[in-house]
Amino acid sequence: MPQIFPRKVNVLPHISLGGTLAGGLVAILVVWYYFSPEYTDVGYAPEQPVPYSHRLHVDALGMDCRYCHSAVEVADISNIPATETCMNCHSVVKPQSLALLPVRESFASGESIPWVKVHQLPDYAQFSHAVHVNVGVGCESCHGRIDQMEVVQQVEPLSMGWCLECHRQPELYLREPDDVTEMGYVQPEDFVERNLDRIRLEGIQPPTNCSACHY
């Protein structure tokens, strides 16, 4: 009786073993990258109900972040401004603009403008803007060059590993609290030494334990 399987079939186990290993590796890499916030979240730029341009307001007009996001220094959340804040200027600037219709409608009716949240942290991560801003973490460090964005998009992964990069070595990222809103900030030559001094002096110890943020 002839052999059911010819001799050359003997390589099949090797191929399948190698294939499984390679496939497994590929699967791990695929999950590693494509399931990570790097891939899923970075670049998220939803369309907003009003085509608000940060480039125009911040870069061209030179407005400070805190004119609109006024609670950033006192509250956990950095507020999206009330319609009223927009109308401070837009009652005289471009009062007929079609793009600003939702703003005027909201102001007249008292209904909120349904802005779409761009930077979403999971509910189990507690984050305070006030603490970070007051200690000298620049807006730019997490939100990127907002002043260059027509449409706001997420540029950093906001993952835990990314948070810890700074929490473990704050001296590489901190800036003077006065400079937090500056965009395109260039650190001075000796910034690491200066930051280390501040860290010592002000007792800046970013926590790295779980329950600092997760509760």
Site residues (vs other proteins, CB under 8 A): 40-41, 44, 46, 71, 74-77, 79-84, 106-107, 109-117, 120, 122-126, 128, 130-131, 134-135, 203, 205, 207-212, 214-215
- Tell the residue number behind the tokens 């401004």, with chain if given: 81
Inter-residue contact 142 to 158 (CB < 8 Å): yes
CB-wise, 80 or 149, nearer to other proteins?
A: 80
Distances (CA, A) of 84 to 102, 109, 110, 147: 12, 12, 10, 22
Minimal distance, residue 79 CB to other proteins, in Å: 5
Task: Return the structure tokens found at 44.
Answer: 């998220």
Minimal distance, residue 34 CB to other proteins, in Å: 11
CB-wise, 13 or 207, nearer to other proteins?
A: 207
Minimal distance, residue 131 CB to other proteins, in Å: 6
CB-wise, 138 or 206, nearer to other proteins?
A: 206
Inter-residue contact 183 to 58 (CB < 8 Å): yes
Task: Return the structure tokens found at 104.
Answer: 């005027």
Which are the contacts of 33, defined by CB distance < 8 A and separation ≥ 6?
Answer: 39
CB-wise, 58 or 72, nearer to other proteins?
A: 72
Distances (CA, A) of 214 to 125, 163, 204: 5, 13, 20
Q: How far apart are CA 146 and CA 152, in angstroms?
A: 7
Handedness of CA 118, 143, 158, 79 (dihedral sign): negative
Minimal distance, residue 111 CB to other proteins, in Å: 6
The helix (H) or strand (E) run that includes residue 132 is helix 129-135
CB-wise, 1 or 210, nearer to other proteins?
A: 210
CB-wise, 184 or 207, nearer to other proteins?
A: 207
Minimal distance, residue 176 CB to other proteins, in Å: 16
Minimal distance, residue 165 CB to other proteins, in Å: 16
Q: How far apart are CA 3 and CA 55, in angstroms?
A: 75
